[in-house]
Amino acid sequence: MSRISSKGEIAELDDTSDLQWFASNQDKLKKYLGKYVAIYHKKIIGYGETMNEAHAKARKADSRADPIIALVAENYQAIF
Q: Once rounded to an integer, what is the mean pLDDT over residues 12-23?
A: 77
For residue range 23-69, list pLDDT tens digits in order.
899 888 999 999 999 999 999 999 999 999 999 999 999 998 889 99
Amino acid letter, residue 65: A
Residues 6+ apart with CB under 8 A from 1: 12, 13, 16, 19, 68, 79
- Residue 38 CA to residue 14 CA, distance in Å, equals 16
Supply the pLDDT for residue 1: 47
Q: Once rounded to an integer, what is the mean pLDDT over residues 4-12?
A: 57
pTM of the model: 0.75
Sheet of 43-48: strand order equals: 43-48, 36-40, 68-72, 77-79
Q: How many CB atoms lie within 10 A of CB 5?
A: 12
